[in-house]
A and B are shown apart, each in its own frame.
Chain A
């Protein structure tokens, strides 16, 4: 048995290869549709990838990539030895995980709620209004939040009106409130936009399923859990995978507008830290090293969530 296993592969491999090649030729039309995409990705993503070598170099603004001196893992050592960087990692994870916990399911629920509305103008209006905040850039929204959260701003006037507080506070100066502010403002901005993909998925569910359920006397709740959600699972998994793998990224624009001296211990995230330490100082090597590290971790997170979500989708992966 063992010797057979050693001997056979060479032959097997050859045979397998021929088989594959034949199959490849037979499906040339299909391959012809995919290969341009592969070529495209090769040109626009893989060719420039050599740029990551500056993570291992001391690269300054006037150098060519090839001309900069090698420094090995120095840039990575600087990053790992920096406790403020680690503080930023903690904040990033905290804010991102909260955003995931709160912000991930709200679009799903919202989409289902909109889907359950009767067709008509209200449905369209709700949906249209819901995505509008997406178009406010953080520069704008940040400016508005600063005024809404100020001592005499909208929020304090509201709280004073209810009688919850006696005196207005500036909420952006309270470090322990920052995560909450960051998460809620982000959810407010993106929840409606996030429903679009789910709505599109629900649009293709055959209405006859619901009719049949209605005849059987199923409640709305049953319809949602038995029909709608199973249809949404692949897209939910897909979004979950992409969201989890991006835990370390993003938040830059939001942080830059909302950060101030008093909340920075809670608001500094990886990207804003790199932005200050790397790009504003022209230290491209530093920024690239951080970026490379984040890419690798993201990849690992992707593989993990992919394995987990496969169970939700009958063993099939939604990304591979």
Chain B
């Protein structure tokens, strides 16, 4: 009794302390310093903005220091100590302090009220990106005030895509691929059905994967001829559906939307489910190993590198270029080659996904930017062709040269350093590391060197299809729909894997039925409604640009 009384006293004491401190903290943090810097800032005595010349060429102000926060952990560099950043430093007369971190760190910055000048986010769908109007400056306003040339280098379709509800665009992404980019085939495919060349040769005319029946039979044959290999592999599925979810649906050409432009339930598409069932049969034949459902990323990579799988439905294949190359180097006779693989049972055409308009990372100039003119100049500089080439290939004569056709060719010494001492190469040049404004179109400026992916990429030409309409249509985080959506996603992942591992047809059917009733119990109709709304918004944004296409 005595103890609990003391306990109560202590708890009350701590609550009082907490409240007092909370109140004092409230008083402190209400000060607003966000607008002060922007209001008093002027470029009158520095330069006159021009529509035809980028402002960084006009602005002669020296030694501006910018802080650039990147919400990703992996980039660590001292600005100006390598070829790329030294060039940026020289051209713009700026010094940049690069700070990296995760969401918690970003959060502390907002909470503390001391935002850096530039912020790069990694998720267009995050709440920080969705409320950018609260903390970032509209890019067009900045451009008109300090650097009208920006409007020339910014892609209109991308700008429209990133409009917030107020009709303004605050962030500009990297790797945003427009309709034109898809038309011009500038990006390689990232999904492939690949097979070991020696296996393919051994199979000869029996190498048929097109129909479910052929697929199942060929897998049996592989097992017969190569008992040490795993006939069929796919990306790790411990927490995602890997390549057996959306990528397989794309492979079979499952529609993105209904004819009326409404949400299409791709997961229960009959064509797709026929193939899932086929894979289940392959599993029951013992030609998909259970380990494939438990392996994590590094384990999968190791298996790829040692050629354990006879065939793989591979999504994100570019990320495994090194692993495939290592396998190729170790086995000159047994490299992987692409095949057409499974075909739609309904005669649909393949339509693979690549990065869409949303791109990958998004860059913002914050309200706290001490020198917003320099910040937007940096944006323009990096988005312009010159900056694209610099960050990707370096400096002419130092790291690359133009060949007879006017294409960029890396100097042999540089390529050699890259393969022999990647750390040194990275430290000295930082090529492709300042990629926050890089776009896939930059690839077309250069000669593409032959590597383990060349054949896969050649196979994929013309097989991409923009998925704009279904980009970012999941419910906003923090809402009850989002929680249900999460639960459903997780249930789908479990269900799909359970279907693939089903012991018989009844179990397969039951799992699917359970999943469908699970959706019904969890607000599926509300989620579909939300998704339809978002698809409509996407269409609206896309329509803004159709005149120019």
Contact = CB atoms under 8 A, between A and B. Distances in A.
Interface in B463-486: 477-478, 480, 482-483, 486
Contact of A150 (B21, B104, B294): B294
A53 to B, nearest CB: 6
B25 A50 contact: yes
Nearest to A263: B294
A284 B107 contact: yes
A82 B483 contact: yes
B22 interface: yes
Contacts of A142: 296
Interface size class of B (residues with CB under 8 A): 35 or more
B498 A262 contact: yes
A53 B299 CA distance: 43
Interface of A: 42, 46-47, 49-50, 52-53, 58, 60-67, 78, 82, 84, 142-143, 146-147, 149-152, 169-170, 172-173, 257, 259-262, 264-265, 276-277, 279, 281-284, 303, 306, 317, 320
A62 B110 contact: yes
B478 A151 contact: no
B245 to A, nearest CB: 11
Contacts of B107: 61, 282, 284
Given A49-B17, A61-B107, A264 B494 contact: yes
The listed residue with most B CB atoms (<10 A of its CB), out of A78, A143, A257, is: A143
Contacts of B111: 63-65
Nearest to A53: B22
B501 A281 contact: no
Contacts of A47: 21
9 contacts: A50-B18, A60-B128, A64-B29, A66-B25, A67-B29, A143-B298, A260-B237, A279-B103, A283-B477
Contacts of A60: 127-128, 131, 478
B238 A303 contact: no
A66 B296 CA distance: 41
Classify the interface of chain B: helix, strand, loop or mixed.
helix
Contacts of A259: 238-239
A49 B14 contact: yes
B402 interface: no
Nearest to B483: A277
Given A46-B14, A264-B490, A61 B238 contact: no
Contacts of B103: 61, 279, 282
Given A49-B14, A143-B299, A173-B294, 7 more contacts: A46-B18, A49-B21, A151-B291, A169-B290, A170-B289, A173-B501, A282-B477
Nearest to A284: B107
B497 interface: yes
B110 A63 contact: yes
B478 A283 contact: yes
A261 B237 CA distance: 7
A303 B18 contact: no
A303 B4 CA distance: 8
Contacts of B18: 46, 49-50, 52
B413 interface: no
Nearest to A82: B483
Contacts of A62: 110, 127-128, 131, 134-135
A143 B294 contact: no
Interface in B508-541: none
A8 B29 CA distance: 48
A143 to B, nearest CB: 6
Contacts of B493: 261
Contact of A173 (B26, B290, B296, B477): B290
Given A46-B21, A64-B111, A65-B25, A151 B296 contact: no
A260 B486 CA distance: 16
Contacts of A46: 14, 17-18, 21
A288 to B, nearest CB: 12
A58 B294 contact: no
Contact of A151 (B104, B289, B501): B289
Contacts of B3: 303, 306, 317, 320
Nearest to B492: A261
A170 B128 contact: no
A181 to B, nearest CB: 11
A150 to B, nearest CB: 4
Contact of A277 (B134, B295, B486): B486
B280 to A, nearest CB: 14
A216 B510 CA distance: 71
A279 to B, nearest CB: 7
Contacts of B134: 62
B126 A78 contact: no
A172 B131 CA distance: 41
A64 B299 contact: no
Nearest to B23: A50
A59 to B, nearest CB: 9
B299 A262 contact: no
Contacts of B17: 42, 46, 49
Interface in B148-207: none
B497 A261 contact: yes
A143 B7 CA distance: 44
A318 B135 CA distance: 51
Interface in B1-32: 3-4, 7, 14, 17-19, 21-22, 25-26, 29-30
Contacts of A277: 483, 486
Contacts of B273: none
Given A65-B111, A173-B290, A146 B21 contact: no
B30 A66 contact: yes
Contacts of B296: 142-143, 146, 257
Contacts of B289: 151, 170
A264 B493 CA distance: 11
A122 B121 CA distance: 55
B255 interface: no
B478 A261 contact: no
A34 B291 CA distance: 56
A261 B21 contact: no
A75 B301 CA distance: 40
B239 A146 contact: no
Interface in B231-290: 237-239, 289-290
Nearest to A281: B477
Nearest to A54: B111
Given A63-B111, A65-B111, A260-B239, A84 B127 contact: no
A281 B483 CA distance: 10
B113 interface: yes
A261 B126 contact: no
A269 to B, nearest CB: 15
A284 B477 CA distance: 11
B434 interface: no
Contact of B238 (A65, A150, A260, A265): A260
A65 B291 contact: no
Give 5 nearest A-B pairs by CB, closest first: A50-B22, A170-B290, A66-B26, A261-B497, A260-B238
B106 interface: yes
Contacts of A279: 103-104
Contacts of A282: 103, 107, 126-128, 477-478
Given A64-B110, A65-B25, A281-B478, A260 B293 contact: yes
Nearest to A296: B11
A47 B25 CA distance: 10
B330 interface: no
A231 B17 CA distance: 39
The listed residue with most A CB atoms (<10 A of its CB), out of B104, B111, B296, B490, is: B111
A206 to B, nearest CB: 32
B476 to A, nearest CB: 10
